[in-house]
Chain A
Amino acid sequence: MTVTVPRPKLNWRERLYLPAILAGLVITFKHFKNMLFGRTKVTMQYPEQRWDSNLPDHYRGAPALVRDEDGRVRCVACQLCEFICPPRAIKIIPGEIPSKDRFAKVEKYPEAFDIDMIRCIFCGMCEEVCPEQAIYLRKDYAITGFTRAEMVHHKEKLLEIGGVMHGVVLKWNDKK
């Protein structure tokens, strides 16, 4: 079925088109002028201006390992995060804590803890699943590197990003 769309009838002034063209030119010139005198609000100029201080507390940036107040790596190498990780970005090699150690009862610690940041999807499941409150998603988002190897965060790098976490449960301390 053909539908005839009625076209609006233009009067002579509209059919001249010149007033419309001039009005258009005026509008574009206004935009040009406002931009030239810096009156238009523009996008944030990213590398110079950043949103960092306004990031919300629940922001999910790079995952990182944390230490507690005693300086102990909180991770006990239970490998739950490794299992839960949807893109399989985490790889843990557990090691045994020697019996002379103050925290010998913890038994395990991660000998190696690698997160492949090319694979990581910042979902935060590792943080959610961790029974030891050892892994947190921090606010770092600009993670770059020239090679694939550079993009794998090893344990040292993860601890450096994570730093020390205060005010979490210290269930392995001597008193308990």
Chain B
Amino acid sequence: MDFPFVVISLLKIVGILFLVILPMVSYAVYAERRVSAFIQDRLGPNRVGPAGLFQPIADMFKLLLKEDFTPANVNTFYYWLAPCLAVMPAIITIAVVPFGSTLFGVPMVIADVNVGILFVFAIASLGVYGIVIGGWASNSKYPFLGGIRSSAQMLSYELSLGLAVIPVFLLVGNLRLTSVVRYQIEHGWSIAPFVGDWTNPWKWLLTVPMVTSFLVFMIAIFAETNRLPFDLPEAEQELAGGYNTEYSSMKFALYFLGEYTAMITGSAVIVTLFFGGWHLPGIPDGSHGWIFGLINIVVFFGKVAVMIFVFMWVRWTLPRFRYDQLMRLGWLFFFEIALVNIFVVAAILSFVRL
């Protein structure tokens, strides 16, 4: 391993984390409050700075200055460990997602591993530990129930999550996320193949299972990130906040951070798999000049922002599922749909080579 590679990787990690992901997380919280307010005919936070844009900074100071209270009978070690475990996996996942083409000849992905999507699943499923351990260590009933629910929910939806992406990789023939993007640049986005020989009817036939796959994957991501139709672990009305009931100050903020980071990485994976990653028709990649490299990055995070809006939009539209409905939906519908979907794509691909 040579020295420039290490330096460049470190620069990429620091740059993407501190210049993009963390600001995006804090503004996702702000956006969530504004979007929810708009949907409910309110205004939301609009006092700090122009249109309330400095609200995240005020929130940060508030959370940092609050009393960090540790209840008497918690399991201290795990109580402190859990919030970190909630944030870490969400941030690590971004490592394999290609967030841009190239910038000054450097590929804009932190680690271009050949098991890309497997890495995403492996790390993202660790996210449940933060919640389960937090619920257990709090030594309190409501957080415990939240943790239990979370573990069962994750288990049920991990399956459809994994099965839903298989069609994409049947098509691409490679688990590397950069080659997924490369394929979509040549053949058109998975769910809208307008690029390449787009008059080919087989390609359009293939979009039907692709859209199904996208819907199942997105719903599974909702469940993975504990977003609203499936936010049973932190159901405020039933569990008084669920796993984070006993947490305060920055530890609570870390849970929040973890949820929103998971949302961003989830959106990033969706965009990479189904919406062509950093590709926008008509914009060349970074090898044509650094300005295009930058535009590619902007396009990618623009798409991610749109996905995040969809997350919020769905959250403030749908009510929460009941626990048995959640389980039924996961095991009896999405699992089967994803399974059948794989066979459909395999059948189409066996008849026609794209």
**Which residues of A come within 8 Å of B, CB atoms?**
21, 24-25, 27-29, 31-32, 35-36, 40, 42-43, 45
Contact = CB atoms under 8 A, between A and B. Distances in A.
B318 A32 contact: no
Interface in B35-49: 35, 37-43
22 contacts: A21-B318, A24-B318, A25-B313, A25-B314, A25-B317, A27-B317, A28-B39, A28-B313, A28-B317, A29-B313, A31-B39, A32-B35, A32-B38, A32-B313, A35-B37, A35-B38, A35-B39, A35-B41, A40-B41, A42-B41, A43-B42, A45-B43
Q: Is the interface of A mostly helix, strand, loop or mixed?
A: helix
B77 to A, nearest CB: 43
A25 B310 CA distance: 10
Given A35-B38, A36-B38, A28 B316 contact: yes
A27 B39 CA distance: 9
Most-contacted residue by chain A among B37, B38, B314, B318 (CB, 10 A)? B38
A7 B37 CA distance: 34
Interface in B292-310: none
Contacts of A42: 41-43
A32 B43 CA distance: 10
Most-contacted residue by chain A among B39, B313, B314, B316 (CB, 10 A)? B39
Contacts of A29: 313
B314 A31 contact: no
Interface residues of B, number: 13
Contacts of B318: 21, 24
A40 B39 CA distance: 11
A28 B318 CA distance: 10
B37 to A, nearest CB: 8
Contacts, number: 34
Nearest to A29: B313
A24 B317 CA distance: 6
A17 to B, nearest CB: 10
A34 B76 CA distance: 49
B144 to A, nearest CB: 31
Contacts of B37: 35
A35 B41 CA distance: 6
A32 B317 contact: no
B133 to A, nearest CB: 34
B32 to A, nearest CB: 13
A34 to B, nearest CB: 8
Contacts of A24: 317-318
B41 A31 contact: yes
A106 B277 CA distance: 89
B322 to A, nearest CB: 14
Contact of B40 (A21, A31, A43): A31
B264 to A, nearest CB: 21
A36 B38 CA distance: 7
A24 B318 CA distance: 8
A21 B41 CA distance: 20
Contacts of A25: 313-314, 317
Given A21-B318, A27-B317, 15 more contacts: A21-B317, A24-B317, A24-B318, A28-B313, A28-B316, A28-B317, A29-B313, A31-B38, A31-B39, A35-B38, A35-B39, A42-B41, A43-B42, A43-B43, A45-B43
A70 to B, nearest CB: 48
Contacts of B314: 25
Contacts of B35: 32
Contacts of A32: 35, 38-39, 313
Contacts of A27: 317
